[in-house]
Structure formats: structure tokens, C-alpha cells
Amino acid sequence: MEKVNKIDSKIMGFFKNKSLKTFLKYSLKYKMAMLGVITLSTVTSLMSAVPAWLSKYLIDDVLVAKNSKMMSIVIGAIFVSTILKVVTNYFSDIYSGYITEKIRRDIKIDVFSHLQNLPLAYFKQNKLGDLMARLSGDSTTLGRIGFMLFDMLKEFVTVLALLVRMFQVDFILALISLTVLPAILSLVKKYTKKIRKSGRVRQDTVGDVTAFVQESLSGISVIKGFNRSEKMIDNYRGVTQDEFDKIYKATKIKAKVSPINEVLSTIMILLVAAYGGYQIIVAQTMTPGDLISFITAIGLMQQPLKTLIKRNSELQEALPSADRVIEILDVNLEVDHIGDAPKEVPEIIENIKFNNVDFKYDDGDEKVLKNFTLNVKAGEVVALVGKSGSGKTTLVNLLPRYYDITSGSIKINGTDIREMSLQKYRNHIGIVPQETFLFSGTIGENIGFGKDNVTEEEIMKAAKMANAYNFIMELPNQFNTEVGERGVLLSGGQKQRIAIARALVQNPSIMILDEATSALDTESERLVQDALDKLMKGRTTFVIAHRLSTIINADKIVVMENGEIKEVGNHQELLQNNGIYRKLYEIQFGKIEPIEIVDLIEAQKLEELEQYV
């Protein structure tokens, strides 16, 4: 978003509400278009008020004086003003719609961009469905504020022009007619707060419903597997009933405004008619044309006033929805680097050092990692083992800076990773998760996702190295085969091999593998493990391991418990230590005698290991 100058800042200062200020900040990018809309809207409004002036001449100079020439002038003036009103209204609607849609699109792009650059912790703390509701519905609402403001401007100018005519006719009569205006304004002020409050409650509820639907559809297989469809339907009835109650409450609040306004307006017309009649019949200080002109002005004022009140109600209802978007834009982005200028990311990694690393989540009280210290040399494979909750995943999430450490440091070649540009640094890290996420699109697009301007040759080479090439070529459209949402059209093993190919195309210096074979069948596991072996070759690799058979050749095996390092060594050393690793190994493969350990270390395949146990 462009920076606003001093004049723009002063203009924005008139707006107290943050959502209105944000909208104005976007709208100032289209100043000339907005100026055109304001000009066209002003002409439209003035032409709408012209009948209040012409009605006097129609009564006094045409009907009473029987002046045929004046009749032609009045009729011509009515025709010309109508044509001007129609034409200017048409173009003001077109251009206001254009500006509104441009602003709406700008806002949605900025909100999406902001979300893409928020810390991972934000997405852990907020429901995906609610974020989707804010990005789609609430962002659109913030953009539509322009339509409401343009409409209100048009009606306001019309009311102002008609007020001028009323005071021209009779100052006292205008004051009498306006005695009801304070009551109308008081009514608007009273219900404005209620409408805004109920609007925020309603939008939050809509977000909750969207989140429930998103979660339910994502977990449809679990729901069906446990035969809980009826239970989920009942829950949906509950959340939608809450949504209905809050929307209905907001509707009732808005419905009260128009009838009360109608009664007050009728009282105003009756007072005007009584006073005007007295001035014509008794005092004889007013002509019939003046009274008709005055009443015409009041009559023409009714619809703009109603529209103003209606649009104000809609605006007050929309502002809480818009506020939900501003809340996203107010969240601090990921810190790219600390210090004045980012340090260069080394092309060749010599070592990675974890120095007394402590970490706790923002919403947690206890440290998840405590005094974690480890020195990793270039090209080493480091396996992290331990019970669930021991801190393995947290540790590998610190490496790509999904989270920043609480204290201590993580250094590459002696440089703290927080001092490097986050965007450039992450280009050196590849990740193969346990649950592979593929994007809707083709296999080729997914493999080449992590690299700009990737070539077909690079994609094919990566597919071959990942043992994915053969099954891809057997598909009807080969690399142009659609994978479906989240890769639903492929098997688990196929998805995992595509994920490995995606990492190979990126050619990272550091690899993170989160037990990439745990959910696969034997044949798929063999293919994936072979691909992983190729992927790890020559790269510094961190592996989260649950199957100890997959990490017996690791250079370092780090045994973790409650966020702390309990043991470090290779497979043979840790078995001989007779500690936690030995116990974990025996849980998986059965108890072994010390004399057997050396023979076990020499076994390279899972089948051989199982024969010894």
C-alpha cells in the first residue's frame, strides 16, 4: 500500500473509526476517480432537488397566472434536470462501483499477503475457517464501505439542497419543520451503537460457523468412520441456531428505525401544513406556490433521509465486520532479521550449532526446550528420538524459524540465523513432512513448487531420484496429471515421493525429515526410504525418527526427554550405554543381550535386524 502524504493524513484525521481510516487510505490511491464520482454525485443530488424550486413556478406562474410561456419553460426545465440526473447518476454508479471493486480487491490481496507473512504461531491460535471468513466475506465488506459512503454522500447533498430551498421559502416554517430533526438524529445515534455491537457479535458467529463447516468437511472420513454424522448434524444445528438468534436480534434492532422515523416525519409534515395554511389564509404572507414548493422539498427529502438512515445502519453493521479484517492487518509480521542489515546466508554450510537453546510458546508457561546444545557438522545426519512431547518437532520448527527461540542461539558458520534474511535463509532448507501436503494442480506443478523458473528437465530428474518417475509415466497425463485437493487422487506413497522430488528440485543445503515413511506399506516404504537416502546424500539432515530401524546409520542420534538432551551418540554407542535409547530399541525389537550388539550394528536392513531379534 502506497504511503499517504501530509494532506492525505489530515483528511484521514477526520475519521475516528479505524476501518473507515483504512478504507480511506486505500481510496486515496484513486483520487481522480473519486473526485469524478463526487462531482457526478453532486450534480445528481442537485438535479434531484430541482422540482422543489420548479413547483413554485408551476403553481403561481402557470396554474394561477395561466402563463403558457412559463409552462413551457417549467416543463423544459423538468425534462433537462431529469436527463442530467439520470446521466450523472448512471456514470456515478459505474465509477463508484469501479472504485469499490478495486479497493475490495486491493484489500483482499493485502490481507492474503499479510496472512502469508504472519508467524506460524498465529495459525495455531486461530481457526482456519474463521480466517477464511475474514479473508472472503469480511474483506469484501470492508471494500463495500465505499459504496455506502458514496450513496450517503449523494443523499446528503440532496438533503442539503432541499434544506436551502426550505429556508428560502420561509425561515420560520423551516425551523418548525426541523423541530423533528433532533429526534431523528437522537434515534439514529441511539441505535447506531446497538447495530454496531450486534453486527460484531453476528460476524464472529458467522466465523465460528464457517470454521465448524471447514473442520467437519476436512474430517469427513473420521466422522463416517465413527458413524457420527448425525452427531455432527446436531452440532451444526446448534451453531446455526446461535447464528440465527444473533442475526435475528440485529434485524429487530434495524427494523425499529424506519417506523419511528416514519412517524416523526409525518408529525413534521402536519406541523408544516398547519403553519403554512395559516400563512396563506390568515396572514397572507405566503403564496400557494411557496407552500407547495416547501412541501415538495419536504416530500423529496423523505427518501434521501430514509436512505441516509438505512445506509448508516448498514455502515454501522459493516464496520464490525471490517474491524475483523483490520485485526489481521494489525498482527505483526514475521521478523525478517535482527540488526540493521541482514547478513548473507553462507552458500556452503560448515556447521550448525545450537547453543543453550531455550524455547516456550507464547501461550504456554513452561519451556518446551531447555538448554539444548548440539554441534552438527556439514553433511551429518542427525536423528531425533524420544517419546511424544519430548520436543523433537519443536526443535526442527526452530531451524527454519517457524518460531524464534526464547534464549540462546542457533548459528550457521558462526552467524546467528536470526541475523540472516528470513526469505533467503529458508531457500536453503527443504522439508519432507510426515503428512504430505500437495496443492491442487498437476504433478509437475507440485514438484516444481519450491523453485522459480524450474525446467522440465529438473522436474523429471528430481522425479527419477525420488523413485516417482515410473508411476508418473504410467498415469494418463503423466506430469500433467491433476493431483486433486491435498493430493487426494494419489496414494500415500506416491504423494510422499512427489514431496521428496519437490525437495530435490529446491536442492537445499539443510533437510528436515519428519518420519516420512511411518504411514506407508512395505513396498512404498522401501521406495520412499531409497529416495530419502538419495535426498540426504551430501546434505546436513535432521530426521525425526519413530522407527529406530530407519536411523541406525545416522551420524548422531539425539535422545530427547522433556525438552532436554539425555543421550547423544551413534547407534552402537547408545546401545552400549544401556540408557533410554537401549530401552526404546528393546520396546520395538525385543530385549537383546550385550554380546549381540556388535552383530546388530553390522546389519543394514530391517529384515536382517528382525532375524537377529
Q: Domain extents for the chain?
A: 6-329, 358-371+389-426, 432-544, 548-613
Q: What is the pLDDT of residue 258?
A: 64
Relative orientation angle of helices 288-329 and 18-27, to the nearest 10 degrees: 90
Task: Output Rg (C-alpha) for the chain, integer angstroms.
Answer: 36
- Most confident region among 132-136, 230-234, 377-381, 546-550 by mean pLDDT: 377-381
186, pLDDT greater than 70: no
pLDDT digits (tens, 9 = 90+) for 461-517: 888 887 788 888 888 888 888 877 767 777 777 887 888 888 888 778 888 887 766
Distance CA 102, CA 352 (A): 47
What are 298-357's pLDDT values in tens digits? 778 777 877 787 787 777 777 777 777 777 778 888 888 888 888 888 888 888 898 988
Q: Where does 432-544 sit in CATH, by number? A: 3.40.50.300
For residues 458 and 124, the model is more confident at 458
| CATH code assigned to 6-329 | 1.20.1560.10
> Does the pLDDT at position 154 exceed 60?
yes
- Region 594-609 average pLDDT: 46
What pLDDT was estimated at residue 115? 81
Q: Tell me the per-residue pLDDT of 13-34, one tens digit each, with 9 for 90 and over.
A: 445 567 777 777 877 888 888 8
CA-based nearest residue to 516, from 537, 531, 534: 531
Average pLDDT over residues 164-177: 82
The whole-number pLDDT of residue 603 equals: 46
For 440-467, write each residue's pLDDT tens digit: 788 888 888 877 788 888 888 888 887 7
What is the predicted pLDDT for the residue at 87?
Answer: 92
Residue 144, pLDDT > 60, answer yes
SS3 string, 178-192, reads HHHHHHHHHHHHHHH
Q: Is the model more confident about 191 or about 519?
A: 191
Question: At residue 516, what are phi and psi to the nearest 5 degrees?
Answer: -75, -5
Query: What's the mean pLDDT in 411-421?
Result: 87
Helix (H, G, I), strand (E, B) or coil at 401: coil
The answer, yes or no, to whether residue 137 has pLDDT greater than 60, is: yes
Dist. CA 209–CA 579, nearest whole Å: 50
- Cβ(436)–Cβ(487) below 8 Å: yes
Q: Which residues have a Cβ under 8 Å from the Cβ of 131 and sit 6 or more positions away? A: 115, 123, 328
pLDDT at 198: 63
- Around Cβ 121, how many Cβ atoms within 10 Å? 16
Helix (H) or strand (E) holding 512: strand 510-514
- Is the pLDDT assigned to residue 35 strictly greater than 80? yes
Cell of 342: 541482514
Q: Exposure string (b/e) for 287-302, b if CB count within 10 Å is 16 or more?
A: bebbbbbbbbbbbbbb
Residue 287 CB partners (closer than 8 Å, separation 6+): 56, 59, 60, 64, 280
